[in-house]
Amino acid sequence: MLTTGFKLWFGFFVAAFSAAVFAGYTSGATETGPISLGWKGGVGNHVTYVLFVVAAAVFGLLGIVAVAFRDADSESVAEVLGVDTPPPAQTQVGSSIWPVLGALGVATLVVGLVVSSALFVVGLLILVAVSLEWTMTNWSERATGDPEVNSELRERLLRPVEIPILALAGIGVLVLAMSRVLLASSVNGAVLVAGAVGVCVFGAAFVFSRRPNISRRLVSTTLILSCVAVLVAGIVAAATGEREFHQQGGGSGGGHVEVDG
Amino acid sequence: MTETAADTTRTGDDVPTALEAAVTTTDHLRIGRAWIASGVLFLVASLVAGLLVSLERMDLSGMAVFGDADSLFRFWSAYRVGIVLLAVVPVVIGLATAVAPLQVGASSVVFPRAAAFGFWVWALGAAITVAGFLIDGGLGTPGGTSRTDAVALTLLGLLMVIGGICCATVCILTTIVVGRTAGMTLSRVPLFVWSVLVAGSIWLVTLPVLAANAVLIYVDLASRSAVAFGAEDTIWEQLSWAFSHPQVYAFALPLVGIAGDIVPVAARRRHGSHQALLVLTALLGVLSFGAYAQAAFDVGTPIREQAIFVVEAFLVVPLVLLVLFGLVDTLWRGAGSRRTRMPAPLYLSVLSVLFLLAGTVLGALRAVAPLDLLERSTTGAQFTFTIGAALLAAMAGTLWWGDLIVGRVAPQGFGLASALAVAVGVELVAVSDMISGFMGLADFTGGDLSGAGYPGSGVNVLNTVAFVGSVHLLIGALGWLVTGVVRFKGARSLGDTWGGHTLEWTTETVEVTSESPLLDAAVEVGA
């Protein structure tokens, strides 16, 4: 039985090859050249002809692959998944953060092209991460016929990668932001800021630990808002610049640094 | 409503906040709403730009508003790009994302995550494009008062806008092609679905060409010393084909489908020949392919003087006339059975086809070489008529399907009043621009005031009329925005507002046995 995918690619194959023959005969082809791939006669404009023939070959190959692997064939899908009835062709998908993150990645990359190469790299990294996550999510949704098993599969594969990377990235960004804030503050100010942040972290942890029934949303909102506050403070501090440092002493190892109080 | 399972089955802490739901949704109705809302907001922004340009044109002897020609050009081009790619097309995509899957019996749009991705890419791209225009970038000449990096940012934003539109279009078209319910053959699909299929196909083969133009200009701009195609000095010349005849018809094409779906339900009669309307829509689509008409790359005979351009311009007119006759015929035959009070979207959709007809007639006149109208303000008039027609149809569409998309009822009278303000605005701007064009007024009047036209001949009066039209357009767009906001606070919709028994209003999958989009129940009502 011919699968839907095969029919689509075969249609493209016929269209591309017909276009090649048409382009050949309207650009000076002779005898049966365009039909016989140049075996008997000329093919006309070589560039156009070759482009269309290559396109036809690619479409034809995709058609063969589609039919060979029973692409979109419901009975084959049911057999592979080990279920009696094939799952619906169009499955409902839940909410997903990847589309908006992917778009943010594209936007960062685009703005980075104009503003700075560092931003471009950040955009590229976001896009790579989103592509991986999105691909794995899509794969896991069709891995078996059981949605719960599929979800577990995804968690088992991606969580060991996601958590350390996100933790590293989060810690790195927070440390960088805090260091910018401390470097931008005066000597005494930096001590005050570090102390205040430490007290806040300790206080919040104490409150959360004393109230185990506190809602997860409140905890996550508090954490997100705190991280955003540190991030914004870091960006502002980076834009403001570091306080002045004065290098004293002559040699490479003997000098020491004095700072403006 | 077809909220996805994951959207509706959460409880307690897992229930997403409104912001989370809006940002992470893959539900086609929510995505459709997001497209429409963003499109209307950008429409208001584009119309403000248009209003400022109209204000400047009221006195051709100086630069009272913008100060220099580059700034004027920046806003002039922002208006044209914005109203098409940031307003009309997104609203149509929003309608299609929300309604088309239901009209073909699919439970949702195919590739829902990609559909959401398309929206976000477009939205962020639109924001970047607008930012580019506002920070002295836009599509102006970098050597003038425009900043090179800001121009580059505008071009990259435009690329994202095109990418987002193409991504969303692919999702909609795939839904139409592979997501149809049993019995829903392509010859039976509702006209709106068909018109989106045709228009979307044209967008997919032409917008990448526009993207290629933008890339060429960007490369020239970014690597000026190494590469010099000369593209950066003629930015608008390379992009303008997308905003004039015949490509502009491709953006307006879904109006045929909107009118084609509203008229039979309002008239309680099926179209005399659904198939004929399908063929006419397809032919209009073929004739609206405009990626070839790039005057910037003219070699030998200018493309706009070649037979294909002229014949295409004239062929479009009878096709639109035939579509209009088809709609009037349906209304005429249904005169005895239609309701006493006609729904507001009916007036708007028929008016939109009339505006499109006016646009195509002007397009045909522009193609007549002895009239020398190609660079005159008739170009703007044709643009206003055609895109104004699409805008009216989009307003009609949101009034027609709004109850379905939002699930709540809006005041039809206020919506009609807003749309009529837009219609009056389109009429005033387009007619005054058309007459000014015949009197010799240039399409863009800021570059060379001496070449702008004949200030003493009365064009200043006409430009004042055009300004009044621009005010009407802005008021109408604001009214549309208010209608949408009011709808969210309105009473819950009871479903099938218009009693047409069409597929999009049904809540369960049905097998289609009727040869026409209106189901048998509707015919019984009308019989």
How, if at all, do strands A245-248 and A256-259 pair? antiparallel
Domain boundaries, given as residue ranges, for chain B: 22-526
Closest to A99 measured CA to CA, from B341, B325, B112, B351: B112
Mean pLDDT of the residues in chain B: 86
Dihedral sign for Cα B366, B372, B378, B383, please.
Answer: positive
C-alpha atoms less than 13 angstroms from C-alpha of B463 in its C-beta half-sphere: 29
Q: Cα–Cα distances in Å, from B451 out to A38, B250, B448, B454, B455?
A: 56, 31, 5, 8, 10
Nearest CA in chain B to A108: B124
Q: What is the CA radius of gyration of chain B?
A: 23
- Taking the Cβ of residue B424 and every Cβ of chain A, the question of whether any pair is shorter than 8 Å is answered with no
Nearest CA in chain A to B25: A95
Is the CB of A100 less than 8 angstroms away from the CB of B116?
A: yes
Q: How sure is the predictor about B8, in pLDDT bands with cuts at 50, 70 and 90?
A: very low
Q: What's chain A's length in residues?
A: 261
Q: Which residues of B touch A216 (CB under 8 A)?
A: 13
- How does B210-243 read in b/e, with b if 16+ C-beta sit within 10 Å? bbebbebbbbbbbeeeeeeeebbebbbebbbbbb
- Taking the Cβ of residue A218 and every Cβ of chain B, the question of whether any pair is shorter than 8 Å is answered with no
- Taking the Cβ of residue A97 and every Cβ of chain B, the question of whether any pair is shorter than 8 Å is answered with yes
List of residues 6+ apart from B28 with CB closer than 8 A = B2, B97, B98, B101, B108, B109, B112, B115
Mean pLDDT of the residues in chain A: 85
Dist. CA B190–CA B170, nearest whole Å: 19
Superfamily of domain covering B22-526: Cytochrome c oxidase-like, subunit I domain (1.20.210.10)
What backbone torsions phi and psi does residue A246 show, to the nearest 5 degrees?
-110, 120
pLDDT of residue B301: 78
What backbone torsions phi and psi does residue A245 show, to the nearest 5 degrees?
-115, 135
Residue B304 in this model has a pLDDT that exceeds 50:
yes
DSSP string, B198-214: HHHHHHHHHHHHHHHHH
End-to-end Cα separation, chain B, in angstroms: 30
Helix ranges restricted to H, B407-458: 412-438
pLDDT tens digits, B207-252: 999 999 999 888 888 876 655 566 667 888 889 999 988 999 999 9
Distance from CA of B12 to the nearest CA of A (A): 9
Q: Give the residues of chain A that fall short of pLDDT 70.
A: 1, 72, 87-91, 246-261
Collapse the DSSP code of B500 into the 3-class scheme (helix H, G, I; strand E, B; otherwise coil) and give the result: coil
pLDDT of residue B4: 43
Residue B451 in this model has a pLDDT that exceeds 60:
no
CB B278 within 8 A of CB B256: no
Dist. CA B148–CA B150, nearest whole Å: 5
Structure tokens at B162: 């095109």
Is the CB of A103 less than 8 angstroms away from the CB of B24?
A: no
Is the CB of A102 less than 8 angstroms away from the CB of B156?
A: no
Domain boundaries, given as residue ranges, for chain A: 4-81, 164-261
What backbone torsions phi and psi does residue A104 show, to the nearest 5 degrees?
-60, -40
Closest to B58 measured CA to CA, from B463, B407, B430: B463
- Taking the Cβ of residue A94 and every Cβ of chain B, the question of whether any pair is shorter than 8 Å is answered with yes
Helix ranges restricted to H, B288-335: 307-333
Structure tokens at B460: 């200043």
